[in-house]
Chains A and B, each alone.
Chain A
Amino acid sequence: MSDNGILLDIKGLCVSFFTEDGIARAVQDVSFSVKKGKTFALVGESGCGKSVTALSVMRLIADPPGKIVAGEINFDGRNLLELSDQRIRAVRGNRIAMIFQEPMTSLNPVYTVGEQIVEVIRLHQKKEEAEAWDIATEMLRKVGISDPAQRVAEYPHQMSGGMRQRVMIAMAISCKPELLIADEPTTALDVTIQAQILDLLDELQEQSRMSILLITHNLGIVAERAEDVAVMYASRIVELSDCRSLFDQPLHPYTQGLLQSLPRLGFTGKRLYTIPGIVPEPLRFPAGCKFHPRCPIGCNDKRCQTVEPQLRLLDNGRAVACWFAPGYERPDDPKI
């Protein structure tokens, strides 16, 4: 067990999808670490590789066509990528749990929610059936479902989206995981319910001191809840920082753009800012810095167009990948 309070440490993760049209590099050289009991947020637009990163932690990348090409995922001091299938299954759902984006389809429609929760409890905790059902009911109560004893025997289609997401959470926490990966847990839900769910996650984190890897495209919900934030763009992390400094002083133009496009209280401008252009497809990444076609600074810069900047740890403890970020440039960098 590592002693620096780090639970999950990802180093140089590369994931590629080998399709008929070519190789899609969905995740390239991603490194970050999640501290015990803390929340780490992974932010980016859809298709930037954040979900793939999360699935890699669970080793749930569909193979074929996906494949983890390089990197390490150290969980509690052990590299998950080296574990046998059987051992990784003992980790999944037990020590690392995951909540998915679509509560409507993530539950199996042909089993009652109780059955689905009991399944995971019995699998990992070797409990008797009756006891497992008790735990399941308890879990449902914990995630704030009223009348859990009755709800436990209902089918997913009898519940609303928010309820189903609660069920997903109940299922995820039922084995008291050390790490909870929440992959866009609120995207598919109504705004009022979004807040409830996030509050629930906070509450649960406080109770059980688990770490959360929160994946979202919404920088707004990150602000109050995460300790550390990584911003991903086109399969790479472009900025990695603690939450406060990120919001105070974003370094990467992409982060800046994201922040500008957030609605703020008291904002009276005519229009919200939008980042021009669209996210490139993994099969057609531009050369150089992948953000340069959309970048207000780098769009005409020769170096941005040809050489891709790597993520670098700056002196202030933050990391960024932009030639123009203050303090980024090194003497041995190529000059154009």
Chain B
Amino acid sequence: MNGRSGIFKFFLFLFLGVIIFLQFLSMVQADRLYDRLNTLIGRLESHASVPTRPTEKPAASTASAFKEYPGDEGDWLVSVEIGEPRTLNPISVENSIEARDIYARNIVETLFYYDLDYDGVKLEPLLAESMEISKDGLEITVKLKKDIWFSDGVPVTADDVIFTYQTMMNPEIDAADIRNYYDNVKEVVKIDDRTVKFVLKELYWQTIESVGVFDILPRHIYQFTDPKQFNSRRSNPVGSGPYVFERWDVGQQVVLRRNENYWGKKPKLNRLVFKFITNSMASLQALRSHDIDTMEPSSEQFFELSKDEQFKKDFNMLMYWRPNFGYSYIGWNQTKVFFKDRRVRLAMTCSVNRPAIVEYIQKGYGKIVTGSFYVYGKQNDPNIKPWPFDLEKAKQLLDEAGWIDNDGDGIRDKDGMAFRFKLSYPSGNETYERIIKMIKDDTARVGVDVIPDPVEWSIFLDRLNRREFDAAVSGWGGSIESDPYQIFHSSQIHGRGNNYVGFSNPEADKIIEQARRTLDPDKRYALYHRFDRILHEEQPYTFLVTRPSYTLLDKRFENAKVHKLGIDFLEWYVPKDKQRYK
């Protein structure tokens, strides 16, 4: 009899019940069940076994991976990544900095590693024992260490090296970026279980470095029949490193556990936690409340904190230079009328107030970049002085180039065309936006009308690739030593090459080609110094600024040294009485 009203009540209760149930389910599932299941399935699929010690315990490894440091074992290091990597597969990772931060050297090891205390490329053996280069420079023989094994106890052999190389070169494997570095390798030959030979196609100094820093994956774990299966394997990286993968809480963190079965000297910290925090203010707040132990602040954050005595009591503030920071630049599209003329490009450089950026935004710690190499590297020519910020000179140069304000509207023109161009940049980047605002204001004073044009990253790339832009602000990542071939060689103007500004200079081309074949570092450096000088004169880019890196670190960590190439948390430890986590 109560008809509808009863239905209503039933509906209501059902609804509430469902909500409460779903709530519970999703909360539980969000963390525990789902991820554990995931890990479990992941393990089953990848048939990775639980780490076990090899039956025969080797005597203290003949080759020590790292120098022995004193200090107590224990505690965790909780650090921040700005984004979540899409995969931790070392081969299909593309160029994700976050992913490399997590797995490189912690889980997966390379044949050699860079000596952090040398400001050039100096390879120290890690998994390898030695490297021999043939006289013509076309054959590299690498000998692996004895008694080295992956975290599951299986020894590292030449087969693993060859497997990794072949996987990388497999066109169906999603590794186009990495493959590019090894393009010059014709083949890899197994000599014996511990020796491999890399045969190169041609002489090229960078291939040697690439071969040296080659990630070695365990074949017995990553083996695949279907390339798709390999591509979609994104978690549970396995390698020979001092840490093993523990879990990945999607959207939150990746946790690594110390590899108790490590072949070398074990690091002190028990766990490494990489949290994903997108909001940099939130990161700083998390650091202040000791939720995280270390982060890389922006330069503003760093300088503001350096005035905070309370903060300095609790945290170490490290400032250091590091090559992979790179530099930002404005690329002038030299196929456009405006920027064909060297004088115009130079005038633009002179009207960008770089000294002010260094002085006011970077508090004097930054550095104006003059060329495409790491500013403290040996390739860079320290004698080149950056063009000054000089509006008068800019005006004079523009006058010389024939850009004069004929119609009195405040904008220079030539042949009836006003000097008004779009300055494209990827939107949402505060640093670029700041520079753009300054450039717009400053160039207005020399009579050039800049139209800022923020575009979404994918469209930005699209425009660069199609060369459909007037000028663009962007940046290049750096390395200790780099080869300017892709960016500045005239062969890279057409197609989808990276010389999208259309810089073409026969002398520069010749130097680049010659330098690629020069194995002797000093001769090579001399060539690059000359190349740098040409860039400086031609200004295909207006090189902007670079800055040191900063790290904030909880005071409880000891032995946090600053090396010439940066810092290394594998050396850090926490004294027993200060340890926070178990």
Contact = CB atoms under 8 A, between A and B. Distances in A.
A115 interface: yes
Contacts of B2: 115
Interface string A104-123: 00000011101100000000
B1 A110 contact: no
A111 B5 contact: yes
A111 B8 CA distance: 11
A114 B4 contact: no
Contacts of A110: 4-5
Interface of B: 1-5
A40 to B, nearest CB: 38
B5 A133 contact: no
A222 to B, nearest CB: 40
Interface in A80-110: 110
Nearest to A112: B3
A112 B6 CA distance: 12
A198 interface: no
A149 to B, nearest CB: 11
A110 B4 CA distance: 8
A153 interface: yes
Interface in A30-86: none
Nearest to B8: A110
Interface string A172-183: 000000000000
Interface residues of A, number: 7
Contacts of B1: 114, 133, 153
B6 to A, nearest CB: 11
A48 to B, nearest CB: 40
Contacts of A111: 4-5
Contacts of A153: 1, 3
Contacts of B3: 112, 115, 153
A139 to B, nearest CB: 16
For the complex of A and B, 3 pairs with smallest distance between CB atoms = A133-B1, A112-B3, A111-B5
A170 B219 CA distance: 88
Contacts of A112: 3-4
A32 B3 CA distance: 45
Nearest to B2: A115
B7 to A, nearest CB: 12
B299 to A, nearest CB: 60
Nearest to A130: B1
Contacts of A133: 1
A111 B4 CA distance: 8
13 contacts: A110-B4, A110-B5, A111-B4, A111-B5, A112-B3, A112-B4, A114-B1, A115-B2, A115-B3, A115-B5, A133-B1, A153-B1, A153-B3
A110 B2 CA distance: 12
A148 to B, nearest CB: 14
A153 B5 CA distance: 12
A253 B54 CA distance: 119
Contacts of B5: 110-111, 115
Interface string A223-250: 0000000000000000000000000000
B411 to A, nearest CB: 61
Interface string A202-215: 00000000000000
A111 B6 CA distance: 11
A133 B3 CA distance: 13
Nearest to A111: B5
Interface in A245-288: none
Given A114-B1, A153-B1, 10 more contacts: A110-B4, A110-B5, A111-B4, A111-B5, A112-B3, A112-B4, A115-B2, A115-B3, A115-B5, A153-B3
Of B1, B4, B5, chain A has the most CB atoms within 10 Å of the CB of: B1
Contacts of A114: 1
A155 to B, nearest CB: 8
A113 B2 CA distance: 11
A112 B1 CA distance: 9
B228 to A, nearest CB: 57
A133 B1 CA distance: 9
A327 B112 CA distance: 127
Nearest to A114: B1
A122 to B, nearest CB: 12
A60 to B, nearest CB: 25
Interface string A134-174: 00000000000000000001000000000000000000000
B199 to A, nearest CB: 85
A206 B2 CA distance: 34
A289 to B, nearest CB: 54
A114 B4 CA distance: 12
